[in-house]
Amino acid sequence: MRLYIVRHGETDWNRIHRVQGRTDIPLNDYGRHLARETAEGMKDIRIDLGYTSPLLRAKETARILLGDRDVPLYEDSRIEELSFGSYEGRRTAGGEKDAQSEAFHRFFTDTANYIPPQDGETVPQLYERTGDFLAEICAREELRDKSVLVSTHGAAMTALLNRIRGNLSVSEFWRDGIPPNCLVTEAEVRDGKPRIIREGVIYYKEKVRKWKTV
């Protein structure tokens, strides 16, 4: 099995460094452009089926990447973005950064000491549900020879890749950085065990916009 794990394209909230979480923000025109460029780069890659987060930005990215391919696309809430609860909508950088949001910023700068609001989700909870998704997909015998697209989000993608790497440390959650929009990582699954074979592939020509947290 081959897995092609991708973060969704840009949204208006991405552009102004406003955290989205479960807030259902669609792609903007630039995000659709990035997805189309990525689709062009992946046009010769066989995709047999896809899984997407139910959130609009991930679903639209998946549909653009699949293009005219006549393959099934399944929604799975286990690869939704981390829920930030009442923290959603806060700015992580720039002149309008919320001066009262230090507790939230620990998610990026001091993840081990990040405490979500009561209506939010912890990093271990994110690891658990994304890990359950990955284990189920990798164990499915009927997918053994398939190529599978997985369209997800920054933190959810990081949780998936950290699990494949064998690193479930909360303090080192962002050790490899925050994945840019439409970043693609390819993993091979043998005997139910995934391993990364191509990481951090960017198919568009624009300079990668890094997610700012300060």
Q: DSSP for 13-56?
A: HHHTTB--TTS-PPB-HHHHHHHHHHHHHTTTS---EEEE-SSH
User: Which listed residue (8, 10, 121, 153) is catalytic?
Assistant: 8
Whether residue 8 lies in the annotated active site: yes
In the numeric block, which tokens belong to residue 108?
């990026």
Strand order in the sheet with 184-190: 73-75, 49-52, 147-152, 2-7, 184-190, 193-201
Q: Given the structure tokens 């609001």, which residue do they identify?
A: 117
User: Which listed residue (81, 88, 105, 121) is catalytic?
Assistant: 81
Amino acid at 66: L
Report, as residue numbers or ranges, the catalytic residues. 8, 81
